[in-house]
Amino acid sequence: MTKVFQISLGVLAAIGGFVDIGDIVFNAAAGATLGYQLVWAVVVGAVGIMVYSEMCGRVACIAKRPVFDVVRERLGYKVGLTTLLASQFVNAMTCAAEVGGVAIVLRYLFGFPYRPLIAVALLLLLVSVWFLPFEWIERVFGFGGLLLIVFAVAAVKLDPNLGALGHGLIPHIDTPSPLIWCYFAVGILGATFMPYEVYFYSSGGVEDGWVPPHDLKLNKLTAIAGYALGAVLSISIMVVAAELFVPQGIEPGFLGTVALAAQTPLGEAGLLLALLGMLFAISGAAIDTSLAGAYNMAQFFGWEWGKYRKPGGAPRFTVTWAAFFGLAFLVVISGVDPIFVTELSVVFSVVALPLTYVPILLVAGDSNYMGAHANGRLASTLGWLYLVAIVVISLAAVPLLVLTNMGEG
Amino acid sequence: MSERTQLDLVLRVHDQQIVDWAGRRCGNVDDVAIDGEPGGSATVKGLLVGRDATRRRRPRLLAFVAGPAFGDAPEVEVSWSEIEDITQVVKLKKDATELGLGAGDDRAAKWIERIPGS
């Protein structure tokens, strides 16, 4: 059991990265619009985030340097500050979307009005992060989010077309609107690489006190197993949406529509598990983003940080994550649609994406820094290939968003 | 010390995390204070920490962001003799507060400590 708990950092980082509010709706929309055509994008994205998470976890383990420490050191103060601004905007917007998402799921579960539930969501998140130690945050929200496995069970029960699913692993365009295909492909890949995942993951490695050589293996296992689980959940949602929504021409624009997809094959228990899984996963993503924002500020300015201490042990760090939740509350209470906010944050991640991943790749490959644990040929090749992909995604995201009217055509 | 070595020293410590003797994180190296004249020998006086020390490296368009000192002193010079070691971090011989570092955390702590569970 201890071994299972050890990978909880990867599970929480992946849950936040793969099945947050935006991803749940986006993957379901991709499945409902294009069937299995974009399964490959989830797999390609998962391998990429595994490669980079392993790298930044290794840097955290060997050099005790989380990502934003490395960003400032390698890019310098000027570019580092630009990266900080862009990434903090993305963190804040994503956190707002997640807080709104938690309130939406609470409304589905308890039937109370949405706005008061935003305050309840804020209170639940603040209390959780204030009182729970880091390892329990990982366990409760990471493993709680795994209730979304109900979508994998639902997918199997729906007896999907395995031939079409296998064909989906090979990129192919089978739609009259290639731009829509590109929009969803870039969206899925872009969401997979959202920078807060690596901020959270690398700082989490330091929080968990990783030391070489034992924890280098744990880092590899955590990155691979965590993100593989996230990818399975993503693909399951896509499959369920393809099986249920394509024949009926349904466009799932709401979380509730996606949750109902688990009810069709599994009954009310399926719906309840799907909603509970969403509650934990989206809450986990909210915590990922608020802590990522606090890690970034503290590491860039050199403040004390860490959830392994009590809140008073890292005061400005504590004030910052609480401020992120507060800001998120103000954004969603204003009435803005959380799903629109999350799509907006993907656009702004354009600046932060390459500036976050370049320093990780440079430091992980620097033998002066990493000694015998610097990137080998495989990690280096994959790292550079994925960096090119990240730059292409960054450049393509905004034009595709505009040209396809956010995927509406 | 050759010119090359001096340059390496500045590159080595710029933007590094500073920790005090107890391991408390208390700032980053924002600049290095060097004594000397062009053509003559130069001596490293110490490390500069704080908002004002970043002025020359701050992008003009983003100047407003680095404006607040977040409760810290605008600039603190840490004498070279106060440095214990330079590894992945710059380790100091003394307590952060004694050297004027980490004041923002000390101030915020007074508020945070009033909340139960802190």
Residues of A in contact with B59 (CB under 8 A): 78, 81-82
State the CATH class of domain B9-112: mainly beta
For residues A233 and A285, give the distance between their C-alpha atoms in angstroms, rounded to a whole number. 15
Residue A265 is assigned to a structural domain of this protein: yes
Helix, strand counts (H, E) of chain B: 2, 7
CATH of the domain at A215: 1.20.1740.10
B103 touches chain A (CB under 8 A): no
How distant is the Cα of A334 from the closest Cα of chain B, in angstroms? 25
Residues of chain A contacting B65 with CB distance shorter than 8 Å? 81, 84-85
Q: What gap in Å lies between CA B111 and CA A57, rounded to an integer?
A: 33
Tell me the residue range of the domain where A275 lies. Answer: 3-403
Residue A368: inside a domain: yes
- pLDDT tens digits, A368-383: 889 899 999 999 999 9
Chain B nearest-CA distance from A130, in A, is 8
**Domain contains A85:** yes
- B8 touching chain A per CB within 8 A: no
Select from B28, B71, B88 the Cβ nearest to the Cβ of A302. Answer: B28
Q: What is the pLDDT of residue A13?
A: 81
For residues A262 and A149, is the Cβ–Cβ distance under 8 A? no
Residues of B in Cβ contact (< 8 Å) with A73:
14-16
At position A88, the amino acid (one-letter code) is: Q
Encoded tokens for A334: 């204003």
Q: Which of A303, A318, A355 is the best substitution to test chain B (most B C-beta atoms within 10 A)?
A: A303
Interface test with A, best of B10, B15, B54, B88 (most A CBs within 10 A): B15
Q: Does B118 touch chain A (CB under 8 A)?
A: yes
User: Cβ of A303 and B104 within 8 Å?
Assistant: yes
* Pairing of β B31-36 and β B42-49: antiparallel
Q: Give SS3 for A385.
A: helix
Say if residues A376 and A220 touch (Cβ distance below 8 Å): no
What is the per-residue pLDDT across B93-117, written as a single tens digit (0 to 9) for each? 999 999 999 999 999 999 999 999 8
Q: Which of A24, A48, A38, A13 is nearest to A382 (CA)?
A: A48
Domain contains A408: no
63-92 in chain B: CB under 8 A from chain A: 65-66, 70-71, 88
Write out pLDDT tens, residues B38-63.
888 888 899 999 988 888 787 777 76
Interval A234-259: pLDDT, tens: 999 999 999 999 888 888 878 889 99
Q: Considering the domain boundaries, does residue A16 fall inside one?
A: yes
Which stretch of A244-248, A258-262, A360-364, A404-408 has the lowest confidence by average pLDDT?
A404-408
Residues A386, A198: Cα–Cα separation, whole Å: 15
The C-alpha atoms of residue A367 and residue A345 are separated, in whole angstroms, by: 35
Model pLDDT for residues A99-125, shown as the tens digit of each residue: 999 999 999 999 999 999 999 999 999
Enter the ipTM. Answer: 0.90
Q: Is residue A71 part of a domain?
A: yes
Report DSSP state, residue A142. I
Inform me whether the pLDDT recorded for B2 exceeds 50: no
Convert A222-255 to b/e letters by CB count within 10 Å (16 or more is b).
Answer: bbbbbbbbbbbbbbbbbbbbbbbbeeeeeebeeb
Per-domain residue ranges of chain B: 9-112
What is the pairing mode between strands B17-19 and B25-28?
Answer: antiparallel
**What's chain B's average pLDDT?**
86
Number of domains in chain A: 1
pTM assigned to the model: 0.93
Q: What is the token pair recorded at A199?
A: 């901020």
Inform me whether the C-beta atom of residue B37 falls under 8 Å from chain A C-beta atoms.
no
DSSP string, B5-27: HHHHHHHHHTT-EEE-TT--EEE
